[in-house]
Amino acid sequence: MIATQQEKSLSFRIIEKFKETFNTDPMVIRSPGRVNLIGEHTDYNNGFVMPAAINKAIYMAVSRRDDDLIHIVSQDLELSYLGDIAKVEPTSLHWPDYILGVVQQVQALGHPVGGFNCVFGGDIPLGAGMSSSAALECATAFSLNELFGLKMDPLTMVKLSQKAENEFVGVKCGIMDQFASMFGRRNHVIRLDCQSLEYEYVPFNTDGIRIVLLDTNVKHSLASSEYNTRRQQCEAGVALIRAHHPEVRSLRDATLEMLDKHVAPADALVYQRCQYVVEENLRLLAAGEDLKKGDIEAFGQKMFATHEGLSRKYAVSCPELDFLVEQVKGRPGVIGARMMGGGFGGCTINLVREAVIDELVAELTPAYARAMNKELKVYIGQIENGTSLI
Q: Cα 340–342–345 angle (5° rounding)? A: 70
Cα-based torsion angle of the residue sequence 31, 101, 49, 211 in order, rounded to the nearest 10 degrees:
-30
CB of 233 to ligand GLA, least distance (A): 14
Give the active site residue among 97, 177, 215, 322: 177
CB-nearer residue toward ligand GLA: 6 or 232 = 232
Task: Answer whether 183's CB lies under 8 Å from 203's CB.
Answer: no
Q: How far apart are CA 333 and CA 356, in angstroms?
A: 6
Q: Which of 234, 98, 247 is nearest to 161 (CA)?
A: 98
In terms of Cβ atoms closer than 10 Å to its own Cβ (0-12, 13-18, 19+), residue 110 is exposed
Q: How far apart are CA 200 and CA 189, in angstroms?
A: 8
CB of 162 to ligand GLA, least distance (A): 8
CB-nearer residue toward ligand GLA: 43 or 123 = 43
CB of 113 to ligand GLA, least distance (A): 25
DSSP string over 83-120: EETTS----SS-TTHHHHHHHHHHHHTT-----EEEEE
Convert 24-76 into a string of H (helix), E (strand) and C (coil): CCCEEEEEEEEEECCCCCCHHHCCEECEEEEEEEEEEEEEECCCCEEEEEECC
**Residue 68 bears catalytic tag:** no
CB-nearer residue toward ligand GLA: 173 or 218 = 173
CB-nearer residue toward ligand GLA: 68 or 308 = 308
Alpha carbons within 13 angstroms on the beta-carbon side of residue 336 total 26
CB of 127 to ligand GLA, least distance (A): 12
Q: How far apart are CA 101 and CA 90, in angstroms?
A: 8
Binding site residues, ligand GLA, CB under 6 A? 40-41, 43-44, 131, 173-174, 176-177, 222, 341-342
CB-nearer residue toward ligand GLA: 119 or 158 = 158
Task: Answer whether 81's CB lies under 8 Å from 123's CB.
Answer: no
CB of 235 to ligand GLA, least distance (A): 14
Q: How far apart are CA 185 and CA 202, in angstroms?
A: 10
CB-nearer residue toward ligand GLA: 99 or 175 = 175
Q: Which residues are catalytic?
A: 177
